[in-house]
Amino acid sequence: MKSPNAQANSQQSLSQAESQTEPDLDNTYHEDDSLPDDADIFPRMGKTEDESGEYSNCRSTPWGTVVASFPGGAFIEIGDRTVDQKGESWFRSTDLGCWIHDNRIDLL
């Protein structure tokens, strides 16, 4: 028969093992919940905003030179995110290696 201390240690070890195998639900993207770290799961897809006749600029660096444009409704693979000096998010297109402002793209 185990002593009460041994049983408590055994239960604590089991509890720790279970918590290590549970997925971190905070890393799951939920559009409606707007969790701040949802945008940091990569790679992922995004879709440019606007109508099909309008274009979204893609820049060499956040607020840098425009190097490409995407039509509205275009699907883009996103590989990274950064935050500029103003606290605004920018997403990097893996295909072209340029940055799109967060108000120009919907994350999927």
What are the boundaries of each domain within the chain? 39-108
CATH code for the structural domain at 39-108: 2.30.30.40
Closest CA relative to residue 39, chosen from 104, 98, 90: 90
Asked whether the beta carbons of 90 and 97 are under 8 A apart, the reply is no
pLDDT over 70 percentage in the chain:
62
Arithmetic mean of pLDDT over the chain: 76
Q: What is the pLDDT of residues 60-83, one digit of tens each?
A: 999 999 999 999 899 999 999 999
CB neighbour list of residue 60: distance below 8 Å, 6 or more residues apart: 67, 98, 99
Extended beta strands in 1-74, E state: 44-48, 55-59, 66-71
Model pTM score: 0.62
Q: What is the pLDDT of residues 33-69, one digit of tens each?
A: 554 555 577 888 999 987 767 899 999 999 999 999 9
